[in-house]
Structure 1
């Protein structure tokens, strides 16, 4: 009696074996695997039957390579030390894992040359797509460049760009924080603004609009977006006489906020009555200080998941019209700014 065991073990069978069993060329097998419509139904059925008889399944990596796609996506963030980007990275990684995709995480340090190097790396690796927190220089370009993969921008995007993006309503969020400080009686509100991204520029615009509505002048200090720069900038503001120094500090990022808090402590100023403090990002430390820090909490998980979802949808429907998702933040009022109520 003939054996029912396939002539080759599944792990040893090859595309050549499938072609020989079906009596077709290897090119025909490849076309069946790539779902080419030009393959005649009878040939397709023979190939599929041969695959079943041999117990053979195509290598997913090889199949995607033939389709000029891989199971790889890229994520390029501005600063992985920033808890905002750490949280986004985790959400993207979770989505990629669930979709059976590998993820390469890169850190641009807000450096356009480094950013380009990583995008070129993604092109060399035939990445299926990239999620990018772009540098200021990237967002100032009229077009994202001739990259051979779809891009989804996160946190920052050029105004009017057709590139898909997931953003916070930065102007509205900064205006909300500023109005809160105004409602608490603050009148000399200084802004510590990140100088290397459209995010900082948009938040500065919201801050200035709220002060303009109140008939008050802005005081903006543009800084490198890290804690050390925030501490040095805040220390300079607080070194002047009490009558002229700010009665409130507002920071456009979590790292700048951390630096400002350190400067306030070093100056020995009691919050909120000697100085109110508020900023962006509900990082763990902001609720553990005394007093706790008023923040605009960003929906980091939603930002990361939405970016990954847009990329997956783009891969499934390449001709789909691009989308821009704008999310809202949540004001968490705490003791560092609460002078009344």
Structure 2
């Protein structure tokens, strides 16, 4: 089935121009004719498009994220905004602070304001999207899974957790801890599963005492790292479940006189700010900006009338090894 991007490519125009033609906005006659010809050639049914566009009362997309201060989500926002802007949409950014009540309020306002669609990184598995989905307004879920049947763009979190752990095993560390995010968020659970799987496949033991569920924030990383170092048998390496946990863990290690790469650290995500060289730490990079771009494209296609079955897109990670672990 053709999409608005296929129409734009065939017509030799931007998706924003295609959107303006569908909306009846001012477009030069040659471009409008090129779009109409492409729609006809691709059998991109004008009647279905018109129905969806009439139902859409806004050219605004709501983007709801749990932490606007987290650079991971900032990267994702950039991906959404770039694609949305090109297609002629504005993005309203909503910060839920990971709170279900704030999130529900933003979802309610999105409905009241008749926004064209919603992209949401859920506060938790308990996020409720029933009312929004019942309106047939397009919704794309990003980063975290829920029980709802909607388009989904996520990372391969289990593989990322395993990759981070495998790097530390290969570097020769023998007591590898993991600081995960909250236990009610699937990304944290999946990355912890990857940690367990990688250790289970190695000669090392899986010691559940070395697993800590915390917050996805700097203070969570600091507190959990302190607890781990105070164990009778402390770890000699740690997998940080996200970027901010990594920052907190590294801060605490420095205060205890332990410096990577002597103490092994692998961070899932980026390392947005730190007092040490990033080359001392293994980074399992997540394609946050790509996640936003993909989510925006899926949403815009739904707004334009895409009726394909619900889809799940799983994005891969890449590994940047710590200097000491490089060949």
Distance 1:70 1:267, change over 3 A: same
8 A contact 1:64–1:70 mirrored in 2: no
CA RMSD of aligned residues (A): 2.4
Give the TM-score of the pair, scaled to structure 2: 0.77
Moved over 6 A (4+): none
Listed one character per residue, the Cα deviations across residues 161-196 of structure 1 (whole Å, up to 9, x for unaligned) are 531011111101111111111111212111110005
Question: In the alignment, what sits opposite 2:228?
Answer: 237
- Determine the structure 1 residue equivalent to 2:159: 172
User: Shift in Å at residue 34 of structure 1?
Assistant: 8.4
CA displacement at 1:82 relative to structure 2: 0.6
- Distance, in Å, in 1 between the alignment partners of 2:252 and 2:82 is 37
Q: Conserved in 1, the CA contact under 8 Å of 2:122 and 2:146?
A: no
| C-alpha contact 2:56 2:115 (8 A) present in aligned 1 | no
Structure 1: how far apart are the matches of 2:219 and 2:60? 35
Residues 286 and 293, structure 1, Cα contact 8 Å, conserved in 2: no
Selected match of 2:130 from 136, 139, 145: 145
Answer yes or no: is the 8 Å Cα contact 1:278–1:293 preserved in 2. Answer: yes
Q: Of 258, 267, 270, which residue of structure 2 is paired with 1:279?
A: 267
Structure 1: runs of 5 or more not aligned: 1-32, 36-62
Structure 2 residue runs without a partner (length 5+): 1-21, 25-50
Q: Aligned equivalents of 1:212 and 1:323: distance in 2? A: 32
| SS class of match (1:174) | helix
Deviates more, 1:120-129 or 1:217-226: 217-226
Q: Which has the higher contact order (CA 8 A, sep 6+)?
A: 2
Tell me the alpha carbon deviations over residues 264-322 of structure 1, each in whole angstroms, 9 at most, x when there is no partner. 1101113223x111111223436962753211111122111000000011111242211
Aligned length: 273
Say which of 244, 247, 250 aligns to 1:258.
247
Aligned mates of 2:171, 2:271 — CA distance in 1: 23
**Residue in 2 that maps onto 1:191:** 178
Larger radius of gyration: 1
Q: Aligned to 1:319, which of 279, 282, 307?
A: 307
Which position in structure 1 is the counterpart of 2:89? 101
* TM-score of the aligned structures, taking structure 1 as reference length: 0.74
Q: Give the secondary-structure state (helix, strand or coil) at the position aligned to 1:146.
A: helix
Query: Does structure 2 conserve the Cα–Cα contact (< 8 Å) formed by 1:223 and 1:233?
Result: yes
CA distance in 1, matches of 2:106, 2:278: 41
**Residue of structure 2 aligned with 1:204, choices 172, 189, 192:** 192
